[in-house]
Amino acid sequence: GAGVSQTPSNKVTEKGKYVELRCDPISGHTALYWYRQSLGQGPEFLIYFQGTGAADDSGLPNDRFFAVRPEGSVSTLKIQRTERGDSAVYLCASSSGGNEQFFGPGTRLTVL
Amino acid sequence: KQEVTQIPAALSVPEGENLVLNCSFTDSAIYNLQWFRQDPGKGLTSLLLIQSSQREQTSGRLNASLDKSSGRSTLYIAASQPGDSATYLCAVRTGQNFVFGPGTRLSVLP
């Protein structure tokens, strides 16, 4: 595709529910990153994929958060038992060789 | 642990002024530094990428410099325009991931 796409653009859920956020990177980009951004702050790193494997998942806040990239392209961020504190914009970025990152428009998650 | 700060947090200037945004980082062992702009409610748009071996990069009215030894980068915007109003973020690549600063919110007044 022309750029990084993310779906849905907005997600409203209730506390305790399970959500999945999808990221479709730029075609051919082997590196994929997930970030979380709260209002007025810079993006906070969550996880980095190189190909199909998670090369660095040190930013995942706890075991309720999990991400996959089974075929080395599309990635899904999964959040179990959502909490109000999980409300944020979730951003995905891709790059070629770990250099310049290109970001998607983000998914705004609201947990009621 | 890498920490990135940006000064000022917010800046308001009249149209036409030249301005400088600052980014500081605590660990000089970086691979590269990238500047982004973010419009309200939108994702990040890449502006400039500086590799650790480079001193500066230019794109149009934008010029970014990097002084790795002192842990600083500056983004210079020449002849500012109202369309430049946005939040500007810097990010440094340390190891496998990127660490972002909190951003500088810029308003250019017509």
What are A55-110's pLDDT values in tens digits?
899 999 999 999 999 999 999 999 999 999 999 999 999 998 767 899 999 999 99
Q: Give residue B110's pLDDT.
A: 94
| Cα–Cα distance for residue pair A28/A73, rounded to 1 Å | 8
3-state secondary structure of B69: coil
- Asked if the Cβ–Cβ distance from A98 to B31 is below 8 Å, we say yes
Question: How far is residue B26 from each of residues A47, B22, B92, measured CA to CA in Å?
Answer: 22, 14, 10
Host H or E run for residue A37: strand A31-37
Q: Give residue A20's pLDDT.
A: 98
Give which of A99, A107, A108, A110 to mutate to test B binding, by max B Cβ within 10 Å: A99
Nearest 10 degrees: Cα torsion A45, A50, A55, A56? 0
Q: What are phi and psi of A85, to 5 degrees?
A: -70, -10
Comparing CB atoms, the residue among B51, B97, B99 nearest residue A48 is: B97
pLDDT band at B97; cut points 50, 70, 90 = confident
Q: What are phi and psi of A102, to 5 degrees?
A: -120, 125
What is the average per-residue pLDDT within B90-96?
Answer: 89
Residue A1 in this model has a pLDDT that exceeds 80: no
Q: Give residue A98's pLDDT.
A: 61
| Segment B44-66, tens digit of pLDDT | 999 999 999 999 999 999 999 99
